[in-house]
Structure 1
């Protein structure tokens, strides 16, 4: 499954990073980086928790 970030909505609070640090990272400039564009094996639960926990609803899955 592909991870989609709505950059217009993302405020890079880092909640996703705290819930799925293997997938999401907020860099020193305050931008959200995806370490992987797809959900890594064994990370489905963490990625879904990060998506559900995003207060701006900037994350979703496709596919």
Structure 2
């Protein structure tokens, strides 16, 4: 599984960080930074919820 962020869509709202702060961080530049791009499968449910919470659809899970 891989986390992909579309920086063109990202508005730095931080919903992903609020739901999974060990995978996402909104930087000083106002964009999401992925802290672990290829997390273990055991985190799929948590990451799916964080991805779904993005109001601008800037995040996806691949694989």
- TM-score normalized by the length of structure 2: 0.87
Deviation of 1:39 after TM superposition, in Å, equals: 2.4
Q: Secondary structure at the match of 1:4?
A: strand
Query: Which has the larger helix fraction?
Result: 2
Unaligned runs of 5+ in 2: none
Deviation of 1:30 after TM superposition, in Å, equals: 1.7
Corresponding residue for 2:44?
44
Corresponding residue for 1:57?
57
RMSD (Å) for aligned C-alpha atoms: 1.3
Deviation of 1:41 after TM superposition, in Å, equals: 5.0
C-alpha separation between the residues in 1 aligned to 2:29 and 2:10? 14
Unaligned runs of 5+ in 1: none
Q: Secondary structure at the match of 1:39?
A: coil
